[in-house]
Amino acid sequence: MPEFSILKPFSGEVNHGLVLDSSEIPDAIMADQIHGDTILEVNQRPETLPQCDAFITNLKGLPLMVRVADCQGVLIYDPITRSAASVHSGWRGSALNIIGKTIEKMTEVYGSSPADLLVAISPSLGPCCAKFSEPKNELPEFCHPFIRPNNHVDFWALSTKQCLDAGIPENQLELAAECSKCRPGYPSHRNGDSKRMGVFVTLL
Ligand SMILES: [Zn+2]
């Protein structure tokens, strides 16, 4: 287990209520999430809802929020260059490796070294519930090692590998490992919920 915890502040009863309703954070920067791999560098507050699935910034006081229900919200923090990212990664995002691409973008834009980054992955669809009809046809080949019996897919393990491949040290990666579908308290698209959970990071 990593020594730090990005996710822990969300586990209190009050904060948990907050993140379940993103309208409670009116200053949050959000996106029209399109399950792609566009990463927006936030230099100022966008005037319209940008179409993207990840944000990076080095500006203080801007909550970068992705909204999820079964998809992974991935938060990245660089304590050295004081920059951060939030990423929406559902199965399409996993297939595009948006996590690896965001880490690469932080390296390009802010000069981040992956060895310095802290990464946290929110509660999301677990291998227990991520059932596909034909995962070998629906997912690219590099995802196939993560197909489990009965056509389930382990996206937690896939994202972990994408982080490690990008150079994140294992002890700087925090995976919530809570399934949003079968554990109580999280909105789940597969359970028919229309609510979304807000996952955000703010530089202070
Ligand atoms: Zn589950």
H or E stretch at 67: strand 64-68
Is residue 155 in a domain? no
Is residue 142 in a domain? no
CA of 135 to the centre of ligand 1 (A): 17
Helices (H), the chain: 13-20, 91-96, 98-110, 135-138, 155-165
Is residue 148 in a domain? no
Is residue 71 in a domain? yes
Name which of 73, 86, 80, 83 is nearest 115 in CA terms: 80
Domain holding 75: CATH number? 3.60.140.10
Domain count, the chain: 1
The answer to whether 41 and 109 are in contact (CB under 8 A) is yes
Name which of 80, 71, 38, 70 is nearest 56 in CA terms: 38
CA of 189 to the centre of ligand 1 (A): 12
Residues flanking ion ligand 1, Cβ below 5 Å: 126, 128-129, 179, 181-182
pLDDT at 198: 86
Is residue 69 in a domain? yes
CA dist., res. 178 & res. 196, Å (int): 16
CA of 43 to the centre of ligand 1 (A): 38
Residue for token pair 């999280």:
186
The answer to whether 10 and 19 are in contact (CB under 8 A) is yes
Q: What's the predicted TM-score (pTM) here?
A: 0.90
Provide φ and ψ at 199, rounded to 5°.
-120, 120
Joined together, the tokens standing for residue 168 give 């994140």
CA dist., res. 140 & res. 137, Å (int): 8
CA of 57 to the centre of ligand 1 (A): 33
Joined together, the tokens standing for residue 1 give 């287990």
CA of 70 to the centre of ligand 1 (A): 10
Full domain range(s) for residue 101: 8-125+168-201
Is residue 31 in a domain? yes
Is residue 73 in a domain? yes
Is residue 47 in a domain? yes
pLDDT at 21: 54
How confident is the prediction along the chain (204 residues), in pLDDT tens digits per residue? 344 555 554 444 444 444 555 556 768 899 999 999 999 999 999 889 999 999 999 999 888 999 999 999 999 999 999 999 999 999 999 999 999 999 999 999 999 999 999 999 999 999 999 999 999 999 999 999 999 999 999 999 999 999 999 999 999 999 999 999 999 888 899 999 888 888 889 898
